[in-house]
Amino acid sequence: MLDISFAEFCIVILVAIIFVSPKNFPTLFKSLAKIYKKAKNSLMDIKEEIEREDKFQELKKIENEFKILKNETKKKIKKI
């Protein structure tokens, strides 16, 4: 999901050390972990919703095909 290289990670840590005091790191990392977890869960929910919508659209197509076949069958039966 996050494609970050080791060098980029080191830069982020260095910036964190400069702007955040080391005694606040545990609180900061807990907050970042919570934010990451919420974002990940939200993305998973969106992905599941998209998959459900795709399945629903596929079922709608199948339903329409059955309606067409039903109407064609009724017409053929009436001819007989």
Q: What tokens does 60 get?
A: 């709608």
pTM recorded for the entire structure: 0.57
Q: Which of 23-27, 40-44, 61-65 has the lowest mean pLDDT?
A: 23-27
Q: Is it the case that residue 1 has pLDDT exceeding 60?
A: no
Higher model confidence: residue 12 or residue 70?
70
CA distances in angstroms from 11 to 2, 6, 8, 45, listed in the order given: 16, 9, 5, 32
Q: What is the DSSP letter of 24?
A: G
Domain ranges of the chain: 6-79
- Per DSSP, helices labelled H in the chain are 6-19, 25-79
Higher model confidence: residue 67 or residue 4?
67
Question: Tell me: the pLDDT tens digits for 45-67?
Answer: 999 999 999 999 999 999 999 99
Of residues 14, 49, 13, 44, the one with CA closest to residue 29: 13
**pLDDT for position 2:** 62
Alpha-carbon span 19 to 26, nearest angstrom: 14
